[in-house]
Structure 1
Amino acid sequence: MEDSLPWQQNVSLPNTWGIDLYNQIQDRFYRIFIYKPDTVPPPEGYPVIYVLDANSVFGTFVDAMRVQMRKPEKTGVYPAIIVGIGYHTDQPFSPYRVYDFTRPISKEDLPPHPAGLEWPSHGGAESFITFIKEKVKPEIERHLPVNIDKQTLFGHSLGGLFVLQTLFSEPDTFHTYIAGSPSIHWDTQFFRSEKEAFTHKVKQSERQIKILVGVGELEKLHFSGMNKNAAEISEELNQLHQYGIHIQFREFTEESHVSVLLPLINRAIKLGSI
Structure 2
Amino acid sequence: MTAKLMAEGQANSGGTRWFDLQDSISGTLRRVFLWLPPGEAPAAGWPSLTMTDGNAVIGTAVDIMRAQASYPTGSNLGWGVLIAVGYPTEDAYDPLQRSWDLGPPPGATYPPFWPSTPDVRTGGGGELARFILEDMREFLAGQVKLDPNHAGLFGHSFGGLFALWLLFTQPGAFSHWIAASPSITWEDSALLAHLKDFDPAGRQLSVHLSAGEWEGDLLAPFQREAEDAPQRLAEKAKTRTIAAAQDMAAHLASLPGVTARYETYVNETHMSVLPVAVNRALHCVLALR
1:212 is aligned, of 208, 212, 215, to 208
**Deviation per CA, 1:146-179, whole angstroms, max 9, x where unpaired?**
1111111111010110001001111111111111
Q: Is the 8 A contact 1:33 1:86 kept in 2?
A: yes
TM-score (norm 2): 0.82
Kindly report which structure 2 residues correspond to 1:36-51, keeping only aligned pairs within 5 A, or say none. Answer: 36-51=36-51
Say if 1:177 and 1:11 are closer, same or farther in 2 by CA, change over 3 A: closer
**Distance in 1 (alpha carbons) for counterparts of 2:159 and 2:192:** 19
> Bigger shift: 163-172 or 215-224?
215-224
Among 250, 253, 259, the alignment partner of 1:238 is 253
Aligned to 1:248: 261
Q: For 1:248 and 1:134, locate their aligned partners in 2 and report how far apart those are by CA, in whole Å.
A: 29
| Distance of 1:141 and 1:210 partners within structure 2 | 24
SS in 2 for 1:184: coil
1:260–1:113 CA distance, 2 compared to 1 (3 A): farther
Q: Does 2:277 match 1:264?
A: yes
Contact persistence 1:231–1:249 (CA under 8 A)? yes
Q: Could you tell me which residue of structure 1 aligns to residue 168 of structure 2? A: 168
Q: Is the counterpart of residue 52 in structure 1 residue 52 in structure 2? A: yes
1:108-257 → structure 2 map (5 Å cutoff)? 120-198=120-198, 201-202=199-200, 205-220=201-216, 221=218, 222-223=236-237, 224-240=239-255, 243-257=256-270
CA separation in 2, counterparts of 1:54 and 1:145? 21
Q: Deviations over 1:94-136 (max 9, x none)?
A: 02000001122345xx7x9999x99612110011101111111
Contact residue 177 and residue 210 of structure 1 kept, 8 A: yes
> Contact 1:209/1:244 (CA < 8 Å) preserved in 2?
yes
Asked if structure 1 preserves the Cα contact closer than 8 Å seen for 2:20 and 2:88, the reply is no
Matched residue count:
255
Letter in 1 for 2:208: L
Distance in 1, matches of 2:88 and 2:132, equals: 17
| CA shift in 2, pair 1:188/1:272, >3 Å | farther
- Percent identity of paired positions between Structure 1 and Structure 2: 29
Pick closer, same or farther for the CA change 1:226–1:189 going to 2, 3 Å: closer
Q: Secondary structure of 1:78's partner?
A: coil
CA displacement at 1:46 relative to structure 2 = 1.0
Q: How far apart, in 1, do the equivalents of 2:60 and 2:280 lie?
A: 13
1:187: Cα distance to partner?
Answer: 3.5
Aligned to 1:85: 85
Structure 1 unmatched runs, 5+? 1-9
C-alpha change, 1:106 and 1:236, in structure 2 (3 Å) is same
Report the 3-state secondary structure (helix = DSSP H, G, I; strand = E; otherwise coil) of the residue aligned with 1:212: strand
SS of structure 2 residue aligned to 1:197: coil
Whichever residue aligns with residue 100 of structure 1, its letter is D
Shift of 1:269: 0.8
Given that residues 45 and 146 in structure 2 are in contact (C-alpha distance below 8 angstroms), is that contact kept between their aligned partners in structure 1? Answer: yes
Task: State the Cα RMSD in Å.
Answer: 2.3
Q: Which amino acid aligns with 2:277?
A: L
Q: TM-score, normalised by structure 1?
A: 0.86
Alignment match of 1:104 (pick from 96, 103, 106): 106
Deviations 1:158-206 (A, max 9, x none): 01100010011111111111111001121354333223320xx22xx22
User: The residue matched to 2:190 in structure 1 has which SS?
Assistant: helix
Mapped contact 1:208–1:245 kept (Cα < 8 A): yes
